[in-house]
A and B are shown apart, each in its own frame.
Chain A
């Protein structure tokens, strides 16, 4: 059983650029959630994908968008990068179902720096 993987590990972009972050779910999981973790803070929910559809969204603007693919891997896209977008972006996978109890397993994250 493989865990959650994310790529790239680190990324440096300049203000106004666009970025795509990638996540591979844990084997057997069908749901992916994305979180933003600013330095010294807890993770903040961005959005979630289930069966390739967005299934909930936190307080983030539309320039944050995502995709989930048939193999349950996922992408997070951020357009028009701002300095405040600098953070650790975390992907969490889970299995939707009656007995899953919402257990979410996180990947190592992608550290995004916007200059």
Chain B
């Protein structure tokens, strides 16, 4: 019930293309879904997050799509750039109180010119 499943494990995208990473969760009590970006040797950096009262959230080139009935959410990176090459983690938790984040296993994105 605590799992968050993330796919694909790795992704190669041409510069200017769209990167899409998918996640699925099991615990219906989860209502906070952040995405983190991690570069080698660094800690995860909060990229964008969504709560289930909306189906989509966009910040610049990054968009989260959320499907509550399917218990799935995805990250879209538009106009992908080589600087976006990193490992991306989806996570889920309850938004109220201090609750731990449950992370997916990560997607290693490589954007090639």
Contacts and interface: CB of A to CB of B under 8 A. Distances in A.
B101 A104 contact: yes
Contacts of B8: none
A66 interface: no
A8 interface: no
B45 A106 contact: yes
B32 A101 contact: yes
B103 A104 contact: no
Given A41-B106, A43-B89, A101-B32, A108 B42 contact: yes
Contacts of B94: 102
B32 A102 contact: yes
**What range describes how many residues of B lie at the interface?**
20 to 34
B86 to A, nearest CB: 14
B46 A104 contact: yes
Q: Which of A42, A92, A105, A107 has most B Cβ within 10 Å?
A: A42
Interface in A44-83: 44-45, 48, 50, 55-56, 58
A108 B45 CA distance: 9
Interface string B84-112: 00000101011111111111111000000
Given A33-B100, A43-B101, A101-B95, A106 B43 contact: yes
Contact of A45 (B41, B100, B104): B100
A12 B52 CA distance: 43
Given A4-B43, A56-B99, A56-B100, 4 more contacts: A35-B101, A40-B106, A43-B89, A50-B98
Q: Nearest 5 CB-CB pairs, A to B?
A: A42-B103, A45-B100, A106-B43, A108-B43, A106-B44
